[in-house]
Chain A
Amino acid sequence: MTDATHEGAKRHRSLLTVDAQTKKRNAAEARFKVYGMVAILAGLTFLVVLAVSIIRSGLPAFSANMVQVELTLSQEQYAEAEGQLFKTRAYADIFNAAFTAELRERGLTTEFDPESIERIIGQPGATIRSFYRANEDQLGQPVTFNLPTASRIDGYFKGRLLRENVTDSRFLTLADLDLADELKEAGIIQSQFNWTFITGKDSSVDNPGGAGLGASVIGSFAMMLVVLFLSLPIGVAASIYLEEFAPKNRITDLIEVNISNLAAVPSIVFGILGLAVFIQFAHLPQSAPLVGGLVLTLMTLPTIIISTRASLKSVPPSIRDAALGVGASKMQAVFHHVLPLAMPGILTGTIIGLAQALGETAPLLLIGMVGFVAREYPDGLVSAFMDPNSAMPAQIYTWAARSDDAFYEKAWGGIIILLVFLLAMNLLAILLRRRFERRW
């Protein structure tokens, strides 16, 4: 770099003064470092934006604006209502009359017509009827009903529906909003924790308020049981063979290549497999958690095999040698000594595989879990596996596909529940690893 014949150039190349080229190089160095920091920050920003939008949009699903009303239904009214053709209509009329009277008594200032109440509370008739049909002894006594508000009113209180966007229609008028505001102030409409959302069943398209994730949680749980009871033994058996017994030959190579390729096959292709093999060919029931579980098992097996092999590999050979040395057979050495030592790692990998399977949606779309509305809980053990049901991610997709703000809110809320499950499973895996991991 230095040239002895150029005295002048040498003077500029002092280590103490920074020349232009060094400045440029240092600037490039600093820029490069900043690029890296920006990339990390961008990634973390995306994470934060995602988390904030999930929480902000999903939390409202966990509360519901309810109307608390005390109602006394006499024996005669009950008999008369049951005698009518439109029974829930009759109950709704009774309710409206009673509620209107109560509001007048309380002296609410806003003028309202009785239909307004119907638009605010929706159709309370069915709830009231089913209560009294189950509890006939409550007739004639005051009973407090906790009724959900109509989804538009609920949306108005949660900020989903803005007053300036409301035009008078047969579903909602501005006067309704005034009345609803007043009811809220008087404490008749209260925001409560929405248990129905967590434990309830899916509802029809026109009743977003009553939709719940409960039935599909059961569906997901049944699927996870299938996945666990199939993929853990099969995955462990396959890994033990490949890691401990398999001779080095072309068949073993073929199996290994297959496993690593299956791990990279898009999940929707597994859905096609499930549709063709389990439903078209084997005539298993569509949308059944059993079929979903089978498909997800095939999908998670490569993940479980890869992690199980890693944990088998981490058990030092001295353990095997010691077991063989005291006269154990190869099989005994593996099953009595290596496997128990590798178990924490295997379980951790299995839990992570299960968490992946729990959030998987695409294959479930193809085996029909989406068109199905999970309107009922399964009524028994066999039914939980064989009868059509939905699963958490499929239910979220169904809600998202309904193109309705009220259902979008449910979908976000469902995502919170799904993520809570995933978080719990991952925490369990981390704890297992911390508690039982051994360094050799």
Chain B
Amino acid sequence: MPVIWLVLIVLALGAGGYVLGRSRALGSAGGDSRKLHSLPNYYGSNVAIKTLVPSFLVLAIWLIAQPIFVSSQISGQLPDGIVPEGSSVGLVMAEVRRTADGIGALVANGTMSADMAASAQVDPVDLTARLQEAGQVVTSAITQPILQAAQSYRAMNATGGMAMTALVLLIALGGLVYGLRETAPQFRARNVVEGSVRVLLIAAASLAILTTIGIVLSLLFNTVEFFRIYPASDFFGSLTWSPSFQGNSQLGIWPLLWGTLYISIIALTVAVPIGLFAAIYLSEYASKAVRSTAKPLLEILAGIPTIVYGLFALLTVGPMLMRVFGDEGIGWMQSGTAVMTAGLVMGIMLIPFVSSLSDDIINAVPQAMRDGSLGLGATKSETIRQVVLPAALPGIVGAILLAASRAIGETMIVVLGAGAAARLSMNPFDAMTTVTAKIVSQLTGDSDFASPEALVAFALGMTLFVITLGLNVFALYIVRKYREQYE
């Protein structure tokens, strides 16, 4: 039975439980809800919760555990020597799974009877042909051991599915009966329901922790795996990045880090002066009308998806720079995709980050400080430079650091605008590449996940995660530590 049907049945049981619980509570009080401890709805909800929550919990755990259990059983059953040289158990298991899925599809569309799919007399050659004919993805000829493994995989999954259905339905029914038996006028249904709702709220809030753990674990496991097959000293020590899928790759991170850094520096040299002066003008000089139109207009720049900026870099800014700095102009630029292209466009994207944050911070500087400075005879600009900005400096530094972490993690602009060549060069008109761009290119090929060329992306992701996290924490620290308290 497909899981969706099981879910629907359990949901129906829960709804039924609600109605039954509510009417039973009312019935036990003789139709007078004032004799109940809680409102009748709470009795219904109590039954529904007892029906739904345990059964869904079991369902979820089972759905996660079953594939792991079946895979480990099957890979234990695989005869020795089936794993070819240069391959891994994971790849063989993937083939087993594909074969099993293929047989399932054949049974589903009626080309193969269920009995035949499970029988030991199936000819692997014939099966391969049939699967290919039906358009199923089969890598190579299916061998006898793989076929057997696939058949027992199907058998175990089928048994597991049956057991799961039975167990989940049993638990749901048990919960329903238990909830109904509890229902009595003295039963404190509201407290029980509110307690469970509270647990649900806590679970939702903990998802943030789970997500972080998920990120860290998925990066960590694959990074460790990468460093097992590729020495860490080469990753952090080598100055060349030249992956080749035949092996013998040189995977040094420095060219990528340099590209990332160079592009971010250019982006910040564009964004910081413009953003800062815009913020100063908006908060200190602009009339109300100017402020209320210019501020949202600038913020549009932050709401535009990065793919738009990427295309803008590739197709508008790149060719524009080529006309000035390219072969027809000064001759510094070889192609439209370069550090300068990506940096400029990223700078445009970051203007509103710097300006909005700085604007808020400048506005938070108390008016009394400005009045004091102006009263001593300073001009407005002197007040801003010598009183307001120093007071707002920690916040502004925090804003710039946040913009920097944004620039380092930016992907689409560099994928489209910065080029693909990893090199250590000082020329801003050279094509270079970044950590994020290489994560994309190493993980979007058809390579398998076991090769160092694909796994390196996780090590790069880990580096990126650590750098941006460090910048964010540092930014918050600066803001907290040096914030002047005016009250």
Contacts and interface: CB of A to CB of B under 8 A. Distances in A.
B357 to A, nearest CB: 13
A269 B209 contact: no
Interface string A229-246: 000011101101110011
- What's the dominant secondary structure at chain B's contact region? helix
B168 interface: no
A4 interface: no
Contacts of A362: 306, 411-412, 436, 440
Interface in B441-471: 443-444, 449, 457-458, 461, 464-465, 468-469
Interface in B265-312: 273-278, 280-282, 284-286, 294, 297-298, 300-301, 303-308, 310-312
B305 A393 contact: yes
Contacts of A42: 274
Contact of A418 (B215, B305, B415, B440): B305
Given A238-B208, A301-B207, A361-B412, A268 B468 contact: no
B67 interface: yes
Contact of A25 (B198, B379, B384, B461): B379
Interface string B384-410: 110000000000000000100110111
A266 B468 CA distance: 8
Interface in B398-434: 402, 405-406, 408-412, 415-416
B233 interface: no
B298 A43 contact: yes
Contacts of A273: 211, 214-215, 218
A142 interface: no
B120 interface: no
Contacts of B294: 40, 43-44
Contacts of A37: 281
A400 interface: yes
B204 interface: yes
Nearest to B440: A365
A401 B97 CA distance: 33
B109 to A, nearest CB: 15
Contact of A46 (B64, B214, B301, B380): B301
A254 B211 contact: no
A264 B311 contact: no
B439 interface: yes
A264 B303 contact: no
A277 interface: yes
A435 interface: no
A287 B440 CA distance: 15
Nearest to B281: A36
A346 interface: no
A25 B382 contact: yes
Contacts of A210: none
Interface in A265-281: 265-270, 272-273, 275-277, 280-281
B412 A38 contact: no
B248 interface: no
A85 to B, nearest CB: 22
A61 B375 CA distance: 60
Contact of A266 (B284, B443, B464): B464
Nearest to B344: A46
Interface string B468-479: 110011001000
Interface string A24-52: 01101101110111111011101101100
Nearest to A335: B197
B91 interface: no
A33 B311 contact: no
Contact of A283 (B67, B276, B443): B67
A272 B297 contact: no
A262 B208 contact: yes
Contacts of B468: 264-266, 269
B216 to A, nearest CB: 9
Nearest to A362: B411
A426 B303 CA distance: 10
B278 A43 contact: yes
A259, A269, A359: most-surrounded residue (chain B CB, <10 A) = A269
A254 B282 contact: no
Contacts of B280: 36
Contact of A39 (B221, B277, B381): B277
A44 B412 CA distance: 23
A258 B281 contact: no
B12 interface: no
Contacts of A29: 379-382
Interface in B187-214: 190, 194, 197-198, 200-209, 211-212, 214
Contacts of A32: 380-381, 384-385
Interface in A356-396: 356, 358-362, 365-366, 368, 370-371, 382, 393, 396
Interface string B295-333: 001101101111110111011100000000000000000
Contacts of A408: 315
Nearest to B409: A266
A36 B469 CA distance: 32
Interface in B343-394: 348, 351-352, 355, 379-382, 384-385
A188 interface: no
A108 interface: no
Nearest to B273: A39
A344 to B, nearest CB: 20
Given A266-B408, A366-B443, A418-B307, 12 more contacts: A32-B381, A39-B275, A40-B277, A43-B352, A50-B348, A241-B201, A255-B209, A269-B468, A272-B461, A331-B194, A362-B436, A365-B411
19 contacts: A29-B379, A31-B381, A33-B381, A39-B278, A39-B281, A260-B476, A264-B468, A264-B469, A265-B468, A272-B219, A272-B439, A301-B208, A356-B303, A359-B307, A362-B440, A396-B311, A397-B412, A400-B311, A415-B311
Per CB-CB distance, the 4 closest pairs between chain A and chain B, nearest first, are A266-B409, A36-B281, A359-B305, A276-B218
Interface of B: 4, 64, 67, 97, 190, 194, 197-198, 200-209, 211-212, 214-215, 218-219, 221-222, 273-278, 280-282, 284-286, 294, 297-298, 300-301, 303-308, 310-312, 314-316, 348, 351-352, 355, 379-382, 384-385, 402, 405-406, 408-412, 415-416, 436, 439-440, 443-444, 449, 457-458, 461, 464-465, 468-469, 472-473, 476
